[in-house]
A and B are shown apart, each in its own frame.
Chain A
C-alpha cells in the first residue's frame, strides 16, 4: 500500500507540473502582447513606458525562466497581482475560496444523500412503480441544466414563497438553494448507478445464501447488497467532484454568491490572466487531491482490495 501511495503521488506530481505549464501558457497563448492585454485597450502609456513595464514584469525573459519565476511564486503562495482589482491575487482568492468549498461540500452532501436514497429505493422495489418513478425523476434531474433548476428554485422559493434568501452568500440558509441546484444533477447520476450496482450484486450467490439463512429482505438489501455495491458507487461519486467544482462557476453566477467560480468568470471576461491562472491551478490541485483520496478510500472500504 505504501509503495502504491508513493507511486500515485509521484505520478500526480508529474501531471500537476505538466498542468501548471499549460496553465502558465494561458496568458501567452492569447493572441497579442501580454503586456498590452494587461493594460487594456484604453491605455495612454507611451511605447517607451510600455517597454519599460514589459522589462519590469519580466516578459522579456525567456519563457522557461518566466515559468520558473511563476512556479516559485505559486509554491510560496504568491500568484501575482490582479490586473482588475489591483490587489494580490492570493488575497482575492483567499476572500472567496471558502464560499466555494462550502458550496461544493454542501452540494456533494445533497448528491450523495438524494442519490443513494433514490437508488436504494429503486433497487429494493425493482419493477414496481416506485422504481420507475425514481428512475424517471433521476433522468429528469440529470438532464436539467443546473442553472435553469437554479432559476426555478429562485422563482419558487425566494420570489413567490420567500423562505430562502436569493442573493448573497453570508447566511447559513443562503447555501440551501445553490447546493440543491448544483447537487440534483449529480444525484440523478448517482441514483442510476446505485440502482444498477445493487442489481448486479443481487444476483450473486452470497445473497442467495443470506436469504436462505432467513434474513428479512430489508436486512439482505441494506446490509449485504448495499455494502458490496458501494465501490462502483464511490467511483461515480468521485467523478462528481469534478462536475461540482466546475459547476460552482455557474451556480455562483446565478445566485450572486461570492466564490472562486464567480471570480473565474469575471476574470475571464476582464482578461485578468494572473487570476485566471491562479484559480485554474488551484482548482486542478483540489480536484487531483480529491481523486487521490477517493482512490485510496477503495482500499480502506473493501478489505479484498490490495494495492501492490
Chain B
C-alpha cells in the first residue's frame, strides 16, 4: 500500500496551494549545504576550464624549447613540461576534454540504461528476461575490462573511449532503472492508471518516469564521478586523446615519465581530477538526502 517514505504522497502531488513538488524539491536542493559546497567547486572548475581562453593564451600546445621543465613560478603557476608548454594552460584546456567526455559517457549510459531498464521492468515476461540476461553477460566482464575491449576494437581516441565507457556503463544503470521501475509498478496510482487503460508509452512517460526520476539523478551523479576517473584512467594508459591534445589523464601520463625531475606535471592534473570527483560525490550525497533519504537507506 502507500508507503509514505517511498511512494510519493498523492496529496502532495496535487498540492495547488504552493509550488509543485518538483519546484519545492529543487529549492530544497539549492539550500542543501553539500549541494552548495560541491556545486560551487564544480562551477569554479568548469568556469576555469571553459573560460580559459579569456585569460590565457589561446593555444595550450604552444611549445617553447627554451623554457622546458621550469618549476612553478608566477609566470607559470604550474610550471612547464618537457616541450616548454605551460602546464596550467594544458590542465585548464585538458579539463574540457575530460569533463565533456565523462558527461557524454554518463549520458550514454544513463539514457541506454533508462530505456532498457524501464522497458524491461515495465514489460516483464520475455522482454524482461532477454534484456536483463544480456545485461548480466556484459556485467560478467569486470570494471573497465569491457571499456578496454571496446577500445581495443575501435582504436585509441577520445571519442572511442567515451563510447566504450558509456556502453560499458549501460548494464549498471539498466539494473538500477529496472529495480526502480519494478517498484514503481506497485504504486497505487500507477496501477490505477493502468486499470484506466492508459496507453503504454504514456504510462511510462507520465507515471513511471517521474517515479524513477530521483534514482536517475542520484545514479547519474555517482556515475559521473566514476566516469571522470575512467576517462582519465584510459587517457592515462594512452588509449584516449592522442598527443598533443591535452586531457587530465593524458597529462598525468606525461607526468609519470618525468616524475623525478618535474613533479609538477604529474601532481596538478591529479589535484583537479580529485577535486572534481570529490565535488561530484558531495553533490551526489546531497541529492540523495534531498530526493529521498531512504533511497539508499544510509544516514
Contacts and interface: CB of A to CB of B under 8 A. Distances in A.
Tell whether A and B belong to one assembly. Answer: yes
B252 A147 contact: yes
A23 B149 CA distance: 8
Interface of A: 15-16, 18-19, 22-23, 26, 29-30, 139-140, 142-148, 151-152, 154-155, 159, 192, 196, 199-200, 241-243, 245-247, 249-250, 253-254, 264-265, 268-269, 271, 273, 276, 280, 283-284, 287-288
A155 B142 contact: no
Interface string B134-164: 0011101111110011011100100000000
Contacts, number: 133
Given A30-B153, A145-B270, A246-B145, A151 B237 contact: no
B167 to A, nearest CB: 12
Chain B binding site: helix, strand, loop or mixed by DSSP?
A: helix
A246 B229 CA distance: 13
11 contacts: A19-B140, A26-B149, A140-B278, A148-B270, A159-B260, A196-B296, A243-B143, A245-B145, A246-B148, A280-B145, A283-B141
Contacts of B269: 148
A253 B144 contact: no
A140 B274 contact: yes
Interface in B249-297: 249, 252, 255-256, 259-260, 263, 266-267, 269-270, 273-274, 277-278, 281-282, 296-297
B212 interface: no
Q: Which of under 10, 10 to 19, 20 to 34, or 35 or more describes the interface residues of B?
A: 35 or more
A148 B252 contact: yes
Contacts of A241: 142
Nearest to A30: B153
Nearest to A264: B148
A143 B225 contact: yes
A269 B234 CA distance: 12
Given A15-B136, A145-B273, 10 more contacts: A18-B137, A29-B153, A139-B278, A143-B277, A147-B236, A151-B252, A151-B259, A249-B148, A283-B141, A287-B140
Contact of B259 (A19, A23, A154, A247): A154
Nearest to B265: A151
Contacts of A280: 141, 145, 149
A186 B265 CA distance: 26
Nearest to A16: B140
Given A147-B252, A246-B143, A196 B298 contact: yes
A288 B136 CA distance: 11
Contacts of A269: 156, 238-239
